């Protein structure tokens, strides 16, 4: 063997362990979830985005391999935090107050992140966007959205008895809970509550499915009060009020229409399905029993609430 060949082989052998270690370290790096809470909205104990995200962040701290970067008031302090993000989730108001629509260039930023395979999730009002401004974009990123006067938003008691086989449903027991469960969502064509399916490379799974009562379909809805003839005409139909997608770009997405009432975080099943979803969308493995978490008592429910007292107008001077 020539001396030059001998030296080359020795050098390759010496650096191989280092290369292997670097690759393993990259594979094992923590996943980063950017969690965005919207500004204050609605009366006390409703739309408590700040308090809700604090409560969730506290319970995610014990999840191996996950880092939560939580932000308040509707957007991140520095968009550089997206550079190493694995998922972005908004718990906020929607339409013009949606974090992704409330600032110039934000929708393009989120589309760019999704195009790189970053996960995206929307909770409660954040699933609603103006159809002509962002409807098609949100359907591409999360599979569906609330469309004004096509979807509806009554407050009703939804019963969830069966769940699909999916990481988000791991360990979730049947439960019933009253919330402002939106339904008749505007899904990508081919998606509905009937079961998992794949369309154009997008894998869609209806995660929480319930059947609204006839009285629920007859209204009133929160806004506009309705009833809408097309909602009444679908009596007896199952509705997906939470869903998940796996996109061809490698990213994941979910929509969750509940979350109006802050006290609902006291339900173990309600809380678990969201903790599972927050991990799943960031590509953190969800254990077979799901993400276990400490109960939420009345004392914790009362913490970190937004100050929603009416502001006194200052008297004009001069």
Domain boundary assignment for the chain: 29-301
pLDDT value of residue 29: 87
pLDDT value of residue 18: 39
pLDDT value of residue 14: 43
pLDDT value of residue 254: 98
d(CA 67, CA 65): 7
Helix (H) or strand (E) holding 208: strand 202-210
d(CA 156, CA 160): 13
Tokens linked to 313: 């107008």
Q: For the chain, which ranges sit under pLDDT 70?
A: 1-27, 311-318
CB 263 within 8 A of CB 150: no
Domain 29-301 carries which CATH code? 3.40.50.880
The CA-atom distances, in angstroms, between 300 and each of 40, 172, 276 are 18, 22, 21
CB 157 within 8 A of CB 198: no
308: buried, middle or exposed (CB in 10 Å: 19+, 13-18, 0-12)?
middle
pLDDT value of residue 311: 66
3-state DSSP assignment of residue 278: helix
The set of long-range contacts for 269-275, using a CB threshold of 8 Å and a minimum separation of 24, is: 269/160, 269/172, 269/173, 269/174, 269/175, 270/175, 270/177, 271/59, 271/296, 272/171, 272/172, 273/168, 273/169, 273/172, 273/207, 273/208, 273/242, 274/56, 274/123, 275/56, 275/59, 275/60
Cα distance between the two ends of the chain: 97
pLDDT value of residue 312: 65
d(CA 186, CA 228): 15
């Amino acid at each position: 063997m020539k001396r030059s060949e001998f030296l080359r082989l020795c050098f390759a052998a010496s650096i191989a362990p280092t290369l292997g270690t670097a690759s393993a370290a990259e594979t094992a790096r923590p996943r980063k979830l950017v969690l965005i809470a919207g500004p204050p909205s609605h009366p006390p104990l409703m739309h408590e985005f700040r308090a809700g995200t604090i409560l969730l962040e506290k319970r995610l701290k014990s999840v191996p391999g996950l880092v939560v970067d939580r932000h308040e008031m509707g957007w991140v302090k520095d968009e550089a935090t997206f550079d190493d993000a694995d998922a972005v989730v908004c718990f906020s108001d929607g339409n013009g107050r949606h974090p992704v629509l409330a600032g110039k260039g934000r929708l393009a930023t989120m589309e760019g992140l999704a195009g790189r395979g970053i996960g995206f999730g929307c909770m409660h009002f954040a699933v609603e966007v103006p159809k002509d401004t962002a409807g098609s974009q949100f359907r591409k990123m999360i599979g569906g959205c609330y469309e004004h006067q096509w979807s509806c938003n009554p407050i009703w008691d939804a019963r969830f008895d069966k769940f699909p086989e999916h990481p988000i449903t791991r360990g979730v027991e049947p439960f019933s809970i009253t919330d402002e469960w939106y339904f008749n969502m505007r899904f990508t064509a081919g998606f509905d509550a009937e079961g998992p399916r794949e369309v154009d490379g997008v894998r869609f799974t209806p995660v929480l499915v319930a059947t609204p009562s006839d009285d629920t379909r007859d209204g009133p809805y929160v806004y506009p009060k309705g009833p809408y003839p097309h909602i009444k005409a679908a009596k007896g139909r199952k509705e997906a009020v939470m869903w998940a997608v796996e996109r061809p770009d490698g990213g994941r997405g979910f929509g969750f229409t509940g979350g109006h009432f802050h006290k609902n975080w006291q339900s173990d099943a309600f809380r678990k399905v969201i903790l599972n979803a927050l991990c799943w969308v960031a590509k953190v493995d969800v254990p077979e029993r799901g993400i276990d978490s400490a109960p939420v008592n009345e004392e914790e429910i009362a913490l970190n609430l937004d100050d929603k007292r009416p502001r006194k107008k200052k008297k004009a001077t001069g």
